[in-house]
Structure formats: structure tokens, C-alpha cells
Amino acid sequence: MAQEKTRTRELGRDNIILIGMPGAGKSTLGVVLAKMLAYDFLDADLAIQKHTGETLQETIDTQGSETFIKIENEVLCGLKASRTIIATGGSAIYGDKAMKHLAALGEIVYLQVSCAGMLERLQDLDERGVVLRGGLGMSLEELYKERRPLYEKYADRVVDVDGLSITAAARKVAAAISSK
């Protein structure tokens, strides 16, 4: 059963922001959810790539994780949208200023997966542009333990999508949002 958390927010924020671990399905689910709700879709990772002119992994490799987080924070703080599903990168939660900006834009939904589920979903980690603040020796389990409390901190809603197909997960998120 989904664990859900709701925080009271001011009206007028008409976007849905997806946060969660790499492999949680933010981008893929976001496209499906946007079609279900007749919203636009914005992939923050693609906005970062457009801003830098290189892949996420190239930016992390050449400029380092901390500089990447600063760039991500800057790009996220500059987002303007209406009736849009915004899929963030997994490291968005490292930027408090960016998360506050996103919270002002809409409802933040944490797509929760178990650590085992994340490990099962992830492939080609070297090409995904995953920020490992603990360095290259950081395990995915350590990354999961580090990030999970931050996702929970910023989430207006937590929706467990572990083991669900993308369509089933999108339906579950849509149902959670409509139950405001």
C-alpha cells in the first residue's frame, strides 16, 4: 500500500514535480502522466543538458559533482511552467533553493522505490549522470540511504511505485494527486 504524505500548500500552483531516486521512473512516468492529465512535460535533466551543451555525465566528469549541483540548482531555479509535469534529476534535492522554487511552482511527488527496486531498474549507471557526493566509491545502497530522507523532507506526497509498470505507477500518482 502506498505511503502518502500531504502538506497543506497555497492554491494556484498548477504543476506536478516528480522527485526520486535514479531509476524510479520520473521521466518515463512523467510523460505518461502528462498525457493522462493533458499537461505539458518538462525533463529537468534535458534542460540542464541544453544549458551546458553536454551530457549530464560529461558535466559531472569534467566539472565535478558539486559544480554539477550548482548548475542544476541554477537551472531549476530558472524554471517557469504552468500545467506541467516536471521530472527532476535524482540529485535535485541537494539544492534547497531549487526545491523551494519547485515547491512554489506546484505539488512535489516523491516516487518511492525500494533500494532493491532501484538496483533492479538501474542500468548503465556510468552514462546516466548520477551524482555520487560520497565519491566514486559510494555504493548505490549508500546513495539510497543518503537521499531518501531528503526526498521525504521535500515531498508533498509520497507514492510507492515499487514493482509497478510505468502505466500503473502513473495511474497511482494521478489518483493520489486527485485525492487532494
Is 5 among the domain residues?
no
Is 141 among the domain residues?
yes
Range of 25's domain? 15-178
Is 8 among the domain residues?
no
The total number of structural domains that make up the chain:
1
- Total H helices, total E strands in the chain: 9, 5
Is 138 among the domain residues?
yes
Per-residue pLDDT of the chain (180 residues; tens, 9 = 90+): 334 444 333 434 899 999 999 889 999 999 999 999 999 999 999 999 999 999 998 998 899 889 999 999 999 999 999 999 999 998 999 999 999 999 999 999 999 999 888 877 775 555 555 666 555 567 788 888 999 999 999 999 999 999 999 999 999 999 999 876
Q: Is the dihedral of CA 121, 76, 153, 82 positive or negative?
A: negative
Q: What is the domain-level CATH number for residue 28?
A: 3.40.50.300
Is 113 among the domain residues?
yes
Is 2 among the domain residues?
no
Is 172 among the domain residues?
yes
